[in-house]
Homo-oligomer: A and B are copies of this chain.
């Protein structure tokens, strides 16, 4: 049942041949799961063949026997704050204002630094790899350190510098924020094929219209995505409405911020015209149902968004408000929440939900040409799930199994860009024990600081 690798004799062509797996491509060519093979060369998928249809089977340096495994694209997390793993469970079950003002902001002021961002982000990478996520969008502070952690982990990421109008960790002088963000993008965009960059304006209520406009202009100039928490709470909507005479999405539109490289995170409290605006402008939504439930922010009208053609991906949000980074749990919750919200068990079916966590998530991050599905020419970001586990059988429908029964712990192995980063639940790219020790050290500091 374990994918065993074996070295074959010389004159090899493929780097990897994945054989006899139950393949779920999420591509239009193969809409249904089938048993077959995948060839990988120089980090890319070079062929996909259903079993029995093989016209050729080139030799390979390593063969992965994937019989008994589901083989699918790695999951895409369109929104998190990686280093906030350090604040997991620090302050739960509190009113949003108390949570933010009495716990999270003070903790960030005291404990967010280069050291904690590096180790917190690496812990996030460990958790995501172990639960089958291969690409994530991160937005936080001290992002050079986050990018270093991502680079070490072997993950693919869109690493975004966080921006607010007041002093933040790493940018004590707010007038320097554009400079810092610009320098960050220049340093890391293209640093490696796995690292992309972006800029994350915290919200319409913590960034002025001037900040929002100039940051978006910088993003357009650098051709990188622009993220913003938007329409997350009723309070935000009231505030923006009274200050600007418009609801948040209309306000962002008036500032000319909406386009296919803008990602509205949460996007809960919207009227129909705002949903239509998101669709028309191709603005993407990062849907974070678990965080939205836990903070009691509200329920994103995803079913309506999909009907109107809005591009929606899934996100976990940070660990201070979820409190984990498992996209399998997020898929389960996302599907069930829409059903009960619309009193309709047919909305957000399992297939739609899996697409949201893979190819649609890739679309949200403008990476749909390289990842999000298994297709010839795409990057080999592939996860392997054990099928014959008590809670996953029988498996009449792999989409249902993935959404309603599987969890991150069912992911056996993970490949990113053709490189194994986890095998048999062992992370190969860095020493997990070192991370656990460093996080333990940092969490002791955080506890003693309270």
In the assembled complex, A332 has its CB within 8 A of some CB on chain B: yes
B447 touches A336 (CB 8 A): no
Does B336 contact A293, Cβ atoms closer than 8 Å?
A: yes
* A166 contacts B by Cβ under 8 Å: no
Specify which chain B residues have a CB less than 8 angstroms from the CB of A323 in the assembled complex: 400-401, 404-405
List B contacts of A56 (CB < 8 A).
none
Contacts of A299 in B (CB 8 A): 340
Are A296 and B407 in touch, CB under 8 angstroms? no
- A340 touching B296, Cβ below 8 Å: yes
Complex interface residues of chain A between 425 and 450 (CB less than 8 A to chain B) = 432, 435-436, 439-440, 442-443, 446-447
Determine the distance from Cα of A383 to Cα of B368 in the docked complex, in whole angstroms: 44
Distance A349 CA – B94 CA, assembled complex (angstroms): 9
CA distance A337 to B446 in the complex (A): 30
* Complex Cα gap A410–B130 (Å): 13
Query: Across the interface, which residues of B come within 8 angstroms of A432, CB to CB?
Result: 390
Residue in contact with A89 in the complex, picked from B127, B332, B397, CB distance below 8 Å: B397
Query: Is the beta-carbon distance between B394 and A440 smaller than 8 angstroms?
Result: yes
A409 contacts partner chain B, Cβ-Cβ < 8 Å:
yes
Write out the residue numbers on chain B whose beta carbons fall within 8 Å of the beta carbon of A388. 436, 440
Question: CB-CB < 8 A to A199: which residues of B?
Answer: none
On chain B, the residues within 8 Å of A405 by CB distance are: 88-89, 319, 323-324
Instruction: Give chain A's interface residue range (CB within 8 Å of chain B).
Output: 35 or more
Question: B346 touching A390 by the CB < 8 A rule?
Answer: no
A343 at the interface (CB under 8 A from B): yes
* Contact residue among B293, B324, B397, B407 (Cβ-Cβ distance under 8 Å from A339): B293
Bound-state CA distance A348–B3 (Å) is 42
Given contacts A339-B294, A350-B93, contact A88 B394 (CB under 8 A): yes
Q: Does A292 contact B (CB under 8 A)?
A: yes
A358 sits at the interface (CB 8 A)? no
Task: Check A257 for interface membership: any CB of B closer than 8 A.
Answer: no
Answer whether residue A344 sits at the interface, using C-beta atoms and an 8 A cutoff: yes
Q: Is the CB of B333 within 8 A of A296?
A: no
Contacts of A293 in B (CB 8 A): 336-337, 339-340
Chain B: CB-nearest residue to A409: B409
A 308-341 contacts with B by CB, 8 A: 319, 322-326, 329, 332-333, 335-337, 339-340
Separation in Å of the A99 CB from the closest CB of chain B?
7
User: Which of B93, B298, B342 contacts A346, CB < 8 Å?
Assistant: B93
Residue of B nearest to A90 (CB): B396
* Residues of B close to A409: CB separation below 8 A: 407, 409-410
Contact (Cβ within 8 A) B446 A394: yes
A325 to B325, CA, bound (A): 21
Q: Output the least CB separation between A298 and chain B (Å).
A: 7
Q: CA separation between A439 and B324, bound complex, in Å?
A: 32
22 contacts between A and B (CB under 8 A): A88-B405, A89-B400, A90-B394, A92-B349, A93-B349, A93-B350, A95-B344, A123-B393, A130-B391, A290-B332, A294-B335, A296-B340, A296-B343, A323-B405, A324-B404, A324-B405, A390-B432, A391-B408, A393-B439, A393-B440, A393-B443, A394-B442
15 other A-B residue contacts (CB within 8 Å) besides A88-B405, A324-B404, A394-B446: A90-B394, A92-B349, A93-B345, A94-B345, A95-B346, A127-B391, A130-B391, A293-B337, A296-B339, A296-B340, A319-B405, A337-B340, A393-B439, A394-B439, A407-B408
